[in-house]
């Protein structure tokens, strides 16, 4: 059908999950001489007949991404730098924080900054205002760049597969707060970082990317934190870049990340 509509296929990849009985495919093609509207009309009934879940994404449509950040700024600063350097093909219309320290970088990059005091405002009211901002700015993707607040199930359910978090451990190990402290107490020899979709269950969403680094008995807690921050930056930026390129398919508790 793509050929019949004049598509010039540039890249195609596929994966089959035998246990789940699912087949996944990603096809990328040039739009020159291609009629998207006619293809949608013709392919929709075929997809329905085959029981397919599908989407058609245009690379020319720029994703609008909001960054949520707290007092740890390393992932936040890295995303802003990569965006400025042209590595992340998106627009960043707003930054949300519960700490004032992130304001200076937002102003340097000319991005509107919105601060919420989680201590003085009720959580429900704070999230209501945040949702209003996200919708007002037509945000497609929310990135939690070490945003140290637990989002309510109502907030998460409003943006399914549209919130990406970075957690400073190799999930499912050391879920929740202070994973470096618990890793140090256990004397682990590897530490890691995980980027995942956010779901209603804390640190339990489908994993997009992970990485690890080796440590030894000589490393103290401060060393674990320093080495871990390098992992956090890389893992989060990879996940965001893949999401912007429409390379991630999510199903159940897993993801397929195409090359």
Q: Which residues are catalytic?
A: 203
The answer to whether the beta carbons of residues 184 and 242 sit under 8 Å apart is: no
SS3 assignment, position 114: strand
Could you tell me if 100 and 126 are in contact, meaning their C-beta atoms sit under 8 angstroms apart? no
Helical ranges in 137-216 per DSSP H: 153-158, 179-186
> For residues 229 and 235, what is the distance between their CA atoms, to the nearest angstrom?
10
Distance CA 54, CA 27 (A): 11
Please name every residue paired with 94 in a beta bridge, in sequence order, or none if there are none: 66
Q: Would you list the DSSP string of 56-100?
A: ---TTSPEEEEEEE-S--HHHHHHHHHHHTT-S-EEEEEEEESSG
Contact 156, 134 (CB under 8 A): no
Q: Residue 125 CA to chain centroid, in angstroms? A: 25
Count Cα atoms within 13 angstroms, Cβ side, for 146: 24
């Amino acid at each position: 059908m793509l050929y019949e509509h004049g598509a010039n296929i540039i890249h195609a990849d596929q994966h089959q999950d035998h246990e789940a009985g699912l087949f996944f495919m990603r096809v990328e093609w040039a739009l020159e001489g291609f009629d998207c509207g006619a293809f949608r009309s013709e392919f929709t009934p075929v997809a329905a007949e085959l029981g397919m879940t599908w989407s058609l994404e245009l690379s020319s449509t720029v994703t609008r991404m909001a960054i949520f950040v707290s007092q740890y700024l390393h992932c936040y600063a890295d995303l802003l730098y990569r965006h400025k350097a042209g590595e992340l093909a998106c627009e960043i219309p707003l930054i949300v924080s519960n700490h004032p320290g992130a304001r200076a970088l937002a102003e340097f990059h000319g991005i509107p900054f919105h601060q919420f005091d989680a201590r003085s405002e009720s959580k429900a009211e704070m999230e209501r205002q945040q949702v209003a901002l996200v919708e007002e700015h037509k945000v497609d993707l929310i990135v939690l760049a070490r945003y140290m607040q637990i989002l309510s199930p109502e907030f998460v359910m409003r943006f399914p597969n549209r919130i990406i978090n970075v957690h400073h451990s190799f999930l499912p190990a050391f879920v929740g707060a202070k994973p470096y402290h618990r890793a140090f107490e256990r004397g682990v020899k590897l530490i890691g970082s995980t980027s995942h979709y956010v779901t209603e269950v804390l640190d339990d969403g489908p994993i997009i990317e992970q990485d690890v680094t080796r440590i030894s008995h000589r490393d103290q807690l401060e060393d674990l934190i320093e080495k871990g921050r390098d992992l956090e930056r890389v893992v989060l930026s990879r996940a965001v870049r893949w999401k912007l390129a429409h390379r991630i398919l999510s199903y159940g508790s897993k993801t397929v990340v195409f090359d």
